[in-house]
Amino acid sequence: MHEMSYIASMVNMALEVVKENNAGRVRQIVVDIGKTSGVMPYYMHKYYPDAVKGTVLEGAELICNEIDVKALCEECGAEYYPKRENNYLCPECGGRKAHIIEGKGVVLSNVVLED
């Protein structure tokens, strides 16, 4: 399960935010998970309590947002959300060439600190 390495990385980044802001407590950490990343939010939540045990993150809520895949058509420049119904083609021009611009990574998007 590569989720353990992702949650460890997110926890380390959140701890850096805490340190940089001289914070005593954290209310929540928010992680954006792209639908093509292969990372399952269920396992992120499963491993989170062990990853934060004994840190200032213990007791903080983990929120995982699943991010839909967004593509950029290389033929017409349109941004779109690929859909199975149209064979993942660009809805503007029907183009087949595109690259993913959202929905493929795992990102620490927010750390909510308490005063």
All structural domains of the chain with their residue ranges? 3-114
DSSP 86: G
Taking residues 50-60, what's their average pLDDT? 95
Q: What is the pLDDT of residue 24?
A: 87
Q: How confident is the model at residue 2 (pLDDT cuts 50, 70, 90)?
A: confident
Please state which CATH number belongs to domain 3-114.
Answer: 3.30.2320.80
Contacts of 28 (CB under 8 A, 6+ apart): 60, 61, 62, 63, 110, 111, 112
Does 61 have pLDDT greater than 80? yes
Q: What is the pLDDT of residue 13?
A: 96
Tokens 């087949």 sit at which residue? 96
* Mean pLDDT (the chain, rounded): 94
Q: What is the pLDDT of residue 26?
A: 95
Taking residues 110-114, what's their average pLDDT? 94
Does 42 have pLDDT greater than 80? yes
Enter the pTM of the model: 0.85
Q: How confident is the model at residue 1 (pLDDT cuts 50, 70, 90)?
A: low
